[in-house]
Amino acid sequence: MVLIQTLPLPTPTPTLQATPLTPSAFAPFGAVLANPAPDTRPPSCQNSNSAGNGTADLLPPGAGAVVANQGTAIQYRALAPPLQDLYADAPSGQPSTPRTTMFVCAARQLLVSPPESSSSSAASNRSSASKSGGGLFFPVAVLERHPFTTQTFVPLGSSPSARYLVIVAPTLPSPPNPPVPVPVPATGKGAGPGLPDLQNLCAFVATGAQAVTYGAGTWHAPMAALGEHGSVIEFVVVQFANDVPLEDCQEVALDVGEGGKGAGVLVEVPRRVGESRL
């Protein structure tokens, strides 16, 4: 991971609401992986004496559903777009390999309210949050991207009631003479060479029954697990990498003031979600 730039915070500093993660809302940034038909069971689970238990009747439409494992499973072959390996465009020429790793993520400490030094829009948001029963706030101070690879996070062994934040940003057009030129794939591949658009950050609350794939080059915050202090969510992570730091992961920091006293961009999380037991 290489820090390529520290960005000034927009004025006024955005405060945004985290909304439930859905495939359609997340589509500009990647893909959501979840069971498309959680109430549909494989043929072996069905009562053989019941009507309409033919294979065609059992399979939900779409997602490339087929019966597998001698009738004991349903396989979804078109659940999400294929993973991408764009390292053939990397300047170093260093080839990539597929990687499977694990991140054990502790629940983040959330702010009960925005700090007094935060922007007027954040203060207004704090006031409305208190009137509606209160919210909790996650400060975004860092965004990163993996320009040559998709990156998939799969919560492992978590209850469906578990929650985590997915925070992403669109990519701005690249200026004609970028102050810090960085390696990215050829035009038309990945999200492009620009910096993150801080004015249009999006925040989602994902459940333990949802995995996410960040598209190649998508700006995103590091994973933020929610829940009680001391709780964790374990993620299996699948991506490609070539061990050239500037090609594998590029990072921008948000300027939160001297001594890091500022809040950065704030994401409001409903209190019942932020404090829920994992």
Quick check: 168 and 201 in contact, CB under 8 A?
yes
pLDDT tens-place values along the chain, 278 residues long: 899 999 998 888 888 999 999 999 999 999 999 999 988 889 888 765 444 445 556 687 878 999 999 989 999 999 889 999 999 999 999 999 999 999 999 999 999 876 554 444 444 444 344 344 468 999 999 999 999 999 999 999 768 789 999 999 999 998 777 777 899 998 889 999 999 999 999 999 999 999 999 999 999 999 999 999 999 999 999 999 999 999 999 999 998 766 555 667 999 998 877 665 43
Give the pTM. Answer: 0.87
191 Cβ contact partners less than 8 Å away, ≥ 6 residues apart: 145, 147, 171, 215, 216, 217, 218, 219
Q: Which of these, 114, 115, 138, lies nearest to 274 by C-alpha position?
A: 138
What does the alpha-carbon distance between residue 40 and residue 36 come to, in Å, rounded to a whole number? Answer: 9
What does the alpha-carbon distance between residue 153 and residue 225 come to, in Å, rounded to a whole number? Answer: 12
Confidence at residue 275, expressed as pLDDT on a 0 to 100 scale:
60
Residue-wise pLDDT for 28-81, tens only, equals 999 999 999 988 889 888 765 444 445 556 687 878 999 999 989 999 999 889
Residues forming CATH 2.60.120.480 domain(s) in the chain: 2-36+83-274
44 Cβ contact partners less than 8 Å away, ≥ 6 residues apart: 70, 71, 72
CA angle 217, 221, 222 (to 5 degrees): 105
Confidence at residue 240, expressed as pLDDT on a 0 to 100 scale:
98
- The reply to whether CATH 2.60.120.480 applies to domain 2-36+83-274 is yes
